Chain A
Amino acid sequence: MIDASAASSTQYESLLDKTAIDRIDRRIIAATQTGLPLATRPYHLVAARVGIEPNEVMVFLRRMQELGIIRRIGVIPNHYALGYRANGMSVWDVPDEKADELGHKVGHLDFVSHCYRRPRHLPDWPYNLFAMVHGRSREQVQDKIAQIALLLGESIRGHTVLYSTRILKKTGLRLT
Protein backbone atom coordinates (compact mmCIF):
# COMPACT_ATOMS: atom_id res chain seq x y z
CA MET A 1 0.00 0.00 0.00
CA ILE A 2 1.30 3.42 -0.99
CA ASP A 3 0.60 6.54 1.04
CA ALA A 4 -0.67 9.10 -1.46
CA SER A 5 0.41 12.04 0.64
CA ALA A 6 3.98 10.82 1.04
CA ALA A 7 4.94 8.87 -2.08
CA SER A 8 5.83 10.98 -5.06
CA SER A 9 4.32 9.76 -8.28
CA THR A 10 7.72 9.34 -9.92
CA GLN A 11 8.72 7.01 -7.13
CA TYR A 12 5.59 5.09 -7.76
CA GLU A 13 6.09 5.02 -11.49
CA SER A 14 9.27 3.01 -11.09
CA LEU A 15 7.22 0.22 -9.55
CA LEU A 16 5.21 -0.45 -12.67
CA ASP A 17 5.98 -0.55 -16.34
CA LYS A 18 4.45 2.14 -18.51
CA THR A 19 1.88 -0.10 -20.15
CA ALA A 20 0.49 -1.10 -16.80
CA ILE A 21 0.22 2.57 -15.81
CA ASP A 22 -1.57 3.47 -19.02
CA ARG A 23 -3.97 0.63 -18.45
CA ILE A 24 -4.71 1.69 -14.88
CA ASP A 25 -4.99 5.37 -15.93
CA ARG A 26 -7.58 4.43 -18.50
CA ARG A 27 -9.53 2.34 -16.02
CA ILE A 28 -9.55 5.14 -13.47
CA ILE A 29 -10.69 7.64 -16.09
CA ALA A 30 -13.35 5.24 -17.30
CA ALA A 31 -14.54 4.66 -13.73
CA THR A 32 -14.78 8.40 -12.99
CA GLN A 33 -15.84 9.93 -16.29
CA THR A 34 -19.47 10.28 -15.27
CA GLY A 35 -18.28 11.79 -12.00
CA LEU A 36 -16.91 10.85 -8.62
CA PRO A 37 -19.49 9.12 -6.44
CA LEU A 38 -21.16 11.48 -3.96
CA ALA A 39 -20.16 9.47 -0.93
CA THR A 40 -17.99 10.07 2.12
CA ARG A 41 -15.10 8.05 0.64
CA PRO A 42 -15.45 8.44 -3.14
CA TYR A 43 -11.95 7.23 -4.04
CA HIS A 44 -12.54 4.03 -2.09
CA LEU A 45 -15.55 3.28 -4.30
CA VAL A 46 -13.53 4.04 -7.45
CA ALA A 47 -10.76 1.77 -6.16
CA ALA A 48 -13.20 -1.08 -5.67
CA ARG A 49 -14.44 -0.63 -9.26
CA VAL A 50 -10.94 -0.52 -10.71
CA GLY A 51 -9.57 -3.26 -8.48
CA ILE A 52 -6.72 -1.31 -6.87
CA GLU A 53 -6.12 0.29 -3.46
CA PRO A 54 -7.79 3.65 -2.61
CA ASN A 55 -4.44 5.37 -2.12
CA GLU A 56 -3.35 4.13 -5.52
CA VAL A 57 -6.35 5.89 -7.10
CA MET A 58 -5.18 9.14 -5.52
CA VAL A 59 -1.55 8.59 -6.57
CA PHE A 60 -2.56 7.87 -10.15
CA LEU A 61 -4.89 10.87 -10.31
CA ARG A 62 -2.15 13.12 -8.95
CA ARG A 63 0.32 11.72 -11.45
CA MET A 64 -2.09 12.28 -14.36
CA GLN A 65 -2.44 15.89 -13.21
CA GLU A 66 1.33 16.33 -13.04
CA LEU A 67 1.69 14.91 -16.53
CA GLY A 68 -1.08 17.14 -17.85
CA ILE A 69 -3.32 14.24 -18.85
CA ILE A 70 -5.79 15.66 -16.35
CA ARG A 71 -6.06 19.44 -16.29
CA ARG A 72 -8.05 19.76 -13.15
CA ILE A 73 -10.31 17.84 -10.83
CA GLY A 74 -13.27 19.68 -9.46
CA VAL A 75 -16.91 20.59 -9.53
CA ILE A 76 -17.91 21.01 -13.18
CA PRO A 77 -20.80 23.47 -13.39
CA ASN A 78 -23.29 23.18 -16.21
CA HIS A 79 -22.80 26.65 -17.67
CA TYR A 80 -25.78 26.37 -19.93
CA ALA A 81 -28.13 25.59 -17.03
CA LEU A 82 -26.63 28.50 -15.09
CA GLY A 83 -27.64 30.93 -17.81
CA TYR A 84 -24.60 30.99 -20.08
CA ARG A 85 -26.72 30.43 -23.16
CA ALA A 86 -24.69 32.34 -25.74
CA ASN A 87 -21.72 30.49 -27.11
CA GLY A 88 -19.55 32.05 -29.77
CA MET A 89 -16.76 30.20 -31.51
CA SER A 90 -14.52 33.05 -32.68
CA VAL A 91 -12.15 32.08 -35.47
CA TRP A 92 -9.20 34.15 -36.66
CA ASP A 93 -6.81 34.10 -39.56
CA VAL A 94 -3.44 35.20 -38.19
CA PRO A 95 0.05 34.71 -39.66
CA ASP A 96 1.36 31.22 -38.79
CA GLU A 97 4.62 32.56 -37.42
CA LYS A 98 2.70 34.68 -34.90
CA ALA A 99 0.11 32.05 -33.99
CA ASP A 100 1.91 30.76 -30.87
CA GLU A 101 2.57 34.16 -29.37
CA LEU A 102 -0.96 35.40 -30.09
CA GLY A 103 -2.57 32.12 -29.08
CA HIS A 104 -0.95 32.23 -25.64
CA LYS A 105 -2.19 35.78 -25.12
CA VAL A 106 -5.76 34.88 -26.09
CA GLY A 107 -5.62 31.62 -24.14
CA HIS A 108 -4.85 33.54 -20.96
CA LEU A 109 -7.94 35.76 -21.16
CA ASP A 110 -10.15 34.62 -18.31
CA PHE A 111 -13.33 34.58 -20.38
CA VAL A 112 -11.92 32.30 -23.09
CA SER A 113 -12.80 28.68 -22.35
CA HIS A 114 -10.85 27.02 -25.17
CA CYS A 115 -8.11 28.36 -27.42
CA TYR A 116 -6.55 26.20 -30.11
CA ARG A 117 -4.54 26.41 -33.27
CA ARG A 118 -6.06 24.30 -36.02
CA PRO A 119 -5.17 23.78 -39.69
CA ARG A 120 -6.62 25.96 -42.43
CA HIS A 121 -8.48 24.35 -45.32
CA LEU A 122 -8.01 26.78 -48.17
CA PRO A 123 -9.93 28.15 -49.91
CA ASP A 124 -12.99 27.18 -47.83
CA TRP A 125 -11.61 27.73 -44.36
CA PRO A 126 -8.85 30.32 -43.85
CA TYR A 127 -8.93 30.46 -40.02
CA ASN A 128 -6.15 28.99 -37.88
CA LEU A 129 -6.88 30.32 -34.37
CA PHE A 130 -10.00 29.33 -32.44
CA ALA A 131 -11.20 30.94 -29.20
CA MET A 132 -14.44 29.88 -27.53
CA VAL A 133 -16.35 32.54 -25.61
CA HIS A 134 -19.41 32.01 -23.42
CA GLY A 135 -21.80 34.64 -22.12
CA ARG A 136 -25.30 35.22 -20.88
CA SER A 137 -26.21 37.02 -24.11
CA ARG A 138 -24.80 37.59 -27.57
CA GLU A 139 -24.06 41.17 -26.57
CA GLN A 140 -21.85 39.91 -23.75
CA VAL A 141 -20.08 37.53 -26.12
CA GLN A 142 -19.62 40.31 -28.69
CA ASP A 143 -18.02 42.57 -26.07
CA LYS A 144 -15.57 39.84 -25.17
CA ILE A 145 -14.76 39.09 -28.79
CA ALA A 146 -14.09 42.79 -29.32
CA GLN A 147 -11.45 42.50 -26.58
CA ILE A 148 -9.83 39.61 -28.44
CA ALA A 149 -9.82 41.67 -31.63
CA LEU A 150 -8.12 44.52 -29.78
CA LEU A 151 -5.47 42.14 -28.47
CA LEU A 152 -4.77 40.63 -31.89
CA GLY A 153 -4.73 44.04 -33.54
CA GLU A 154 -3.03 44.28 -36.91
CA SER A 155 -2.31 40.57 -37.02
CA ILE A 156 -5.92 39.86 -37.98
CA ARG A 157 -6.26 39.03 -41.68
CA GLY A 158 -9.80 37.80 -41.29
CA HIS A 159 -12.19 36.61 -38.63
CA THR A 160 -15.75 35.59 -37.94
CA VAL A 161 -17.89 34.28 -35.10
CA LEU A 162 -20.03 31.17 -35.26
CA TYR A 163 -22.81 31.23 -32.68
CA SER A 164 -24.32 27.95 -31.66
CA THR A 165 -28.04 27.74 -32.26
CA ARG A 166 -28.67 24.21 -31.02
CA ILE A 167 -26.89 21.63 -28.93
CA LEU A 168 -27.50 18.42 -30.86
CA LYS A 169 -25.41 16.13 -28.66
CA LYS A 170 -23.30 16.65 -25.57
CA THR A 171 -21.81 13.87 -23.53
CA GLY A 172 -18.67 13.72 -21.42
CA LEU A 173 -15.50 12.50 -23.01
CA ARG A 174 -15.72 8.79 -23.60
CA LEU A 175 -12.89 6.36 -23.95
CA THR A 176 -13.29 4.21 -27.00
Chain B
Amino acid sequence: MNNTLSELDKRLLNDFQRDFPLSNTPFADLALELGISQQEVIEKLRSLAERGAVSRIGAVLRPKQMGASTLAAMAVPKSQLDQVARLVNGYPHVNHNYEREHRYNLWFVVTAGDEDELQYTLQDIEQHSGIPVLSLPMLDDYHIDLGFELQWD
Protein backbone atom coordinates (compact mmCIF):
# COMPACT_ATOMS: atom_id res chain seq x y z
CA MET B 1 0.00 0.00 0.00
CA ASN B 2 2.54 2.61 1.15
CA ASN B 3 4.68 2.57 -1.99
CA THR B 4 1.60 3.39 -4.06
CA LEU B 5 0.89 6.52 -2.00
CA SER B 6 1.84 9.90 -3.45
CA GLU B 7 3.24 12.72 -1.32
CA LEU B 8 -0.18 14.33 -1.57
CA ASP B 9 -1.88 11.13 -0.34
CA LYS B 10 0.50 11.06 2.63
CA ARG B 11 -0.27 14.64 3.53
CA LEU B 12 -4.00 13.97 3.31
CA LEU B 13 -3.59 10.96 5.61
CA ASN B 14 -1.30 12.60 8.14
CA ASP B 15 -1.93 16.34 8.30
CA PHE B 16 -5.66 16.50 8.95
CA GLN B 17 -6.16 14.00 11.75
CA ARG B 18 -7.53 16.77 13.92
CA ASP B 19 -8.96 20.29 13.59
CA PHE B 20 -10.97 19.35 10.53
CA PRO B 21 -12.64 22.63 9.52
CA LEU B 22 -16.14 23.30 10.78
CA SER B 23 -17.06 25.48 7.84
CA ASN B 24 -19.51 25.35 4.96
CA THR B 25 -16.88 23.94 2.59
CA PRO B 26 -14.24 22.13 4.69
CA PHE B 27 -12.69 20.31 1.72
CA ALA B 28 -12.15 23.68 0.01
CA ASP B 29 -10.25 24.75 3.16
CA LEU B 30 -8.02 21.68 2.85
CA ALA B 31 -7.58 22.37 -0.85
CA LEU B 32 -6.37 25.88 -0.11
CA GLU B 33 -3.79 24.53 2.31
CA LEU B 34 -2.59 21.89 -0.15
CA GLY B 35 -2.66 24.15 -3.19
CA ILE B 36 -4.98 21.92 -5.19
CA SER B 37 -8.66 22.11 -6.12
CA GLN B 38 -11.52 21.15 -3.86
CA GLN B 39 -12.58 18.49 -6.33
CA GLU B 40 -9.10 16.95 -6.26
CA VAL B 41 -9.21 16.78 -2.45
CA ILE B 42 -12.57 15.04 -2.51
CA GLU B 43 -11.51 12.61 -5.24
CA LYS B 44 -8.20 11.78 -3.52
CA LEU B 45 -9.95 11.14 -0.21
CA ARG B 46 -12.57 9.01 -1.92
CA SER B 47 -9.83 6.98 -3.59
CA LEU B 48 -7.95 6.56 -0.28
CA ALA B 49 -11.17 5.41 1.39
CA GLU B 50 -11.87 2.94 -1.41
CA ARG B 51 -8.35 1.55 -1.10
CA GLY B 52 -8.83 1.15 2.64
CA ALA B 53 -6.17 3.69 3.67
CA VAL B 54 -8.76 6.00 5.22
CA SER B 55 -11.28 4.52 7.65
CA ARG B 56 -13.46 7.60 7.58
CA ILE B 57 -13.45 11.34 7.99
CA GLY B 58 -15.26 12.15 11.16
CA ALA B 59 -15.32 12.50 14.89
CA VAL B 60 -13.38 10.44 17.40
CA LEU B 61 -15.53 10.18 20.49
CA ARG B 62 -14.11 10.17 23.94
CA PRO B 63 -14.98 6.77 25.37
CA LYS B 64 -17.73 6.50 27.96
CA GLN B 65 -19.38 9.77 26.97
CA MET B 66 -22.52 8.10 25.80
CA GLY B 67 -24.01 5.08 27.53
CA ALA B 68 -21.87 2.47 29.28
CA SER B 69 -18.93 0.45 28.05
CA THR B 70 -16.22 -1.92 29.19
CA LEU B 71 -13.22 -3.88 27.98
CA ALA B 72 -14.00 -7.55 28.43
CA ALA B 73 -11.62 -10.50 28.45
CA MET B 74 -12.17 -14.24 28.33
CA ALA B 75 -9.82 -17.19 28.71
CA VAL B 76 -11.14 -19.45 25.98
CA PRO B 77 -9.80 -22.97 25.32
CA LYS B 78 -8.15 -22.95 21.89
CA SER B 79 -10.57 -25.54 20.54
CA GLN B 80 -13.56 -23.31 21.33
CA LEU B 81 -12.07 -20.02 20.26
CA ASP B 82 -13.72 -19.65 16.85
CA GLN B 83 -17.09 -20.66 18.21
CA VAL B 84 -16.94 -18.24 21.15
CA ALA B 85 -15.61 -15.45 18.90
CA ARG B 86 -18.61 -15.92 16.62
CA LEU B 87 -20.95 -15.81 19.60
CA VAL B 88 -19.36 -12.59 20.89
CA ASN B 89 -19.28 -10.96 17.43
CA GLY B 90 -22.97 -11.66 17.07
CA TYR B 91 -23.81 -9.02 19.69
CA PRO B 92 -24.37 -5.56 18.17
CA HIS B 93 -22.93 -4.23 21.47
CA VAL B 94 -19.48 -5.56 20.57
CA ASN B 95 -17.53 -3.23 18.30
CA HIS B 96 -13.96 -4.50 18.68
CA ASN B 97 -12.88 -8.06 19.21
CA TYR B 98 -9.25 -9.19 19.14
CA GLU B 99 -7.52 -12.47 19.66
CA ARG B 100 -4.42 -11.90 21.80
CA GLU B 101 -1.51 -14.11 22.87
CA HIS B 102 -2.24 -14.74 26.53
CA ARG B 103 -4.25 -17.05 28.75
CA TYR B 104 -6.90 -14.34 28.39
CA ASN B 105 -7.01 -14.66 24.64
CA LEU B 106 -10.26 -12.96 23.66
CA TRP B 107 -10.52 -9.18 24.21
CA PHE B 108 -13.51 -7.15 23.17
CA VAL B 109 -15.21 -3.82 23.83
CA VAL B 110 -18.86 -3.88 24.85
CA THR B 111 -20.97 -0.73 24.56
CA ALA B 112 -24.55 -0.40 25.76
CA GLY B 113 -27.16 2.28 26.29
CA ASP B 114 -26.79 2.06 30.07
CA GLU B 115 -25.09 0.08 32.85
CA ASP B 116 -27.96 -2.42 33.22
CA GLU B 117 -27.92 -3.31 29.55
CA LEU B 118 -24.13 -3.65 29.71
CA GLN B 119 -24.25 -6.05 32.68
CA TYR B 120 -27.05 -8.00 31.06
CA THR B 121 -25.00 -8.40 27.87
CA LEU B 122 -21.92 -9.61 29.78
CA GLN B 123 -24.03 -12.14 31.71
CA ASP B 124 -25.66 -13.29 28.50
CA ILE B 125 -22.23 -13.94 26.95
CA GLU B 126 -21.16 -15.88 30.07
CA GLN B 127 -24.32 -17.98 30.01
CA HIS B 128 -24.12 -18.82 26.33
CA SER B 129 -20.40 -19.60 26.36
CA GLY B 130 -20.09 -21.11 29.84
CA ILE B 131 -16.89 -19.06 30.28
CA PRO B 132 -16.45 -16.24 32.83
CA VAL B 133 -16.06 -12.73 31.43
CA LEU B 134 -13.54 -10.38 33.05
CA SER B 135 -14.95 -6.84 32.92
CA LEU B 136 -12.31 -4.09 32.99
CA PRO B 137 -14.11 -0.78 32.58
CA MET B 138 -12.08 2.36 32.07
CA LEU B 139 -11.60 4.20 35.38
CA ASP B 140 -9.36 7.00 34.14
CA ASP B 141 -8.29 8.09 30.70
CA TYR B 142 -4.76 9.48 30.51
CA HIS B 143 -4.33 9.85 26.79
CA ILE B 144 -4.37 13.15 24.94
CA ASP B 145 -5.58 12.01 21.53
CA LEU B 146 -4.17 14.12 18.74
CA GLY B 147 -3.91 11.34 16.21
CA PHE B 148 -0.39 10.09 15.71
CA GLU B 149 2.31 11.12 13.30
CA LEU B 150 2.45 8.50 10.56
CA GLN B 151 5.80 7.06 9.57
CA TRP B 152 6.01 5.66 6.11
CA ASP B 153 8.97 3.26 6.08
Cβ of A61 and Cβ of B56 under 8 Å apart?
Answer: no
Which residues of chain A are near B18, meaning CB under 8 Å?
A: 72-74
Query: Chain B interface residue count: which class?
Result: 35 or more
Cβ of B54 and Cβ of A75 under 8 Å apart?
Answer: yes
Cβ of A71 and Cβ of B140 under 8 Å apart?
Answer: no
Which residues of chain B are near A115, meaning CB under 8 Å?
A: 141-143
B125 at the interface (CB under 8 A from A): no
Please give me the residue from chain A that is nearest to B121 by CB atom: A176
Query: Chain A interface residue count: which class?
Result: 35 or more
Please give me the residue from chain A that is nearest to B51 by CB atom: A81
Given the interface pairs A75-B13, A75-B57, the reply to whether A118 lies near B71 with Cβ below 8 Å is yes
Which residues of chain A are near B73, meaning CB under 8 Å?
A: 125
Extra contacts, 6 of them, besides A70-B59, A175-B67 (Cβ < 8 A), are: A70-B61, A82-B150, A106-B142, A116-B143, A164-B99, A165-B100
B interface list, Cβ under 8 A from A: 1-2, 12-14, 16-20, 22-28, 38, 42, 45-46, 49, 51-62, 65-67, 71, 73, 85, 88-89, 92-102, 104, 106-108, 111-113, 117, 134, 136-151
